């Protein structure tokens, strides 16, 4: 088939288009920023390969407070992007995670997973799980492959955080469990928990879905599912102008009404839209959101 005559068969504006010749074109490709010693925050970063066969990797961030005599909290971060765009290695996330590591005084492991639609769901879930199992190999005796995690990470203070689709995956990781450590907290930033009705994007990138009640997308579909959350504390952050705001609020309310024994907190940024903090990290509301997340981690 002549590529010039290919026809669009599926179109998801701002994300990607699919053509009848199998070609996939994203509306905007992410950039790439190499790991570095950040001059602004003093945070040092480097990349590790976790699963070469599936291109699963991560970027580890070490704050300048490391080596000060005590171990540091560990944050596992899962980026957003509707399961189909963005990267842990893009400038959007690299500079944000530098600030998160610096402000919270935490080691951060930012996961790079395979994207849909080339790799349909559950690839991003399975990749994230594999990455966390790799992190888990450093717990206990501290004999994992990465010296930063062995020497500096406190596996009594492990948090998993994510924004948008990354928050959806983060919730799934805490439910799934099976790690040698217990998560101290779950941080959901503008979570994407579906739209409460059939979702064309989800149906396309998740071939085996059962629809709006799929717990991988909509964790509030069954309250007994929520009650199995394997952590002690949850922070749900929403933005007032975000179309997904009510989905986050619904999660918060339903989690409170289960027999889960942890504590759930809610933080709303009024007048802002979805993941605004990634695009303007210096604005007052972004600074306020960062402070709220940091206070949750420092407990």
3-state secondary structure 40-62: CCCCEEEEEEEEHHHCEEEEEEE
Measure the CA–CA gap between 223 and 233, rounded to whole angstroms: 17
| Amino acid 4: pLDDT | 67
| Amino acid 66: pLDDT | 82
Nearest alpha-carbon partner for 217 in 232, 236, 201: 201
Measure the CA–CA gap between 28 and 14, rounded to whole angstroms: 7
Stated as kind and residue range, the H or E segment containing 113 is none
> How many beta carbons lie within 10 A of that of residue 179, not counting itself?
19
274 is catalytic: yes
Angle at 158 between CA 299 and CA 119, to 5 degrees: 130
| Active-site annotation holder among 119, 138, 171, 274 | 274
pLDDT (tens digit, 0 to 9) for every residue of the chain, 299 residues total?
455 689 999 999 999 999 999 999 999 999 999 999 999 999 999 999 999 999 999 999 999 988 777 899 999 999 999 999 999 999 999 999 999 999 999 999 999 999 999 999 999 999 999 999 999 999 987 789 999 999 999 999 999 999 999 999 999 999 999 999 999 999 999 999 999 899 999 999 999 999 999 999 999 998 899 999 999 999 999 999 999 999 999 999 999 999 999 999 999 999 999 999 999 999 999 999 999 999 999 98
Enumerate the CATH 3.40.50.1820 domain ranges in the chain, comma separated: 32-298
| Active-site annotation holder among 164, 170, 184, 286 | 164
CATH topology of domain 32-298: Rossmann fold (3.40.50)
Stated as kind and residue range, the H or E segment containing 72 is strand 72-78
164 is catalytic: yes
| Active-site annotation holder among 38, 146, 214, 242 | 242
| Whole-model pTM over 0.85 | yes
Tokens of 137: 């190999």
Measure the CA–CA gap between 123 and 60, rounded to whole angstroms: 21
Tokens of 162: 């994510």
Nearest alpha-carbon partner for 184 in 227, 231, 114, 250: 231
Tokens of 246: 């009510």
106 is catalytic: no
Which residue carries 């879905």 as its tokens?
209
């Amino acid at each position: 088939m002549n590529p010039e005559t290919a026809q669009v068969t599926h179109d998801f504006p701002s994300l990607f288009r699919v053509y009848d010749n199998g070609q996939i074109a994203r509306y905007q490709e992410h950039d790439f920023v190499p790991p570095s010693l950040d001059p602004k925050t003093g945070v040092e970063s480097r990349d590790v390969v976790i699963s070469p066969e599936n291109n699963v990797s991560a970027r580890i961030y070490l704050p300048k407070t490391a080596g000060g005599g005590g171990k540091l909290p560990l944050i596992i971060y899962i980026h957003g992007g509707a399961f189909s765009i963005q990267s842990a290695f893009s400038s959007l996330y690299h500079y944000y995670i530098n600030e998160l590591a610096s402000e919270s005084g935490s080691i951060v492991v930012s996961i790079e997973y395979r994207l849909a639609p080339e790799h349909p769901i559950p690839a991003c879930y399975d990749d994230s799980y594999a990455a966390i199992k790799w992190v888990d190999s450093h717990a206990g005796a501290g004999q994992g492959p990465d010296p930063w995690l062995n020497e500096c990470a406190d596996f009594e203070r492990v948090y998993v955080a994510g924004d948008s689709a990354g928050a959806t995956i983060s919730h799934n990781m805490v439910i799934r469990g099976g790690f040698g450590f217990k998560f101290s907290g779950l941080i959901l930033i503008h979570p994407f928990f579906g739209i409460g009705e059939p979702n064309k994007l989800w149906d396309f990138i998740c071939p085996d879905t059962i629809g709006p009640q799929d717990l991988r997308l909509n964790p509030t579909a069954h309250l007994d599912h929520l009650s199995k959350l394997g952590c002690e504390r949850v922070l749900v952050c929403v933005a007032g102008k975000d179309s997904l705001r009510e989905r986050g609020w619904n999660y918060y309310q339903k989690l409170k009404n289960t027999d889960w024994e942890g504590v759930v907190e809610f933080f709303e940024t009024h007048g802002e839209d979805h993941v605004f903090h990634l695009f303007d990290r210096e604005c007052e509301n972004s600074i306020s959101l960062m402070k709220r997340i940091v206070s949750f981690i420092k407990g």
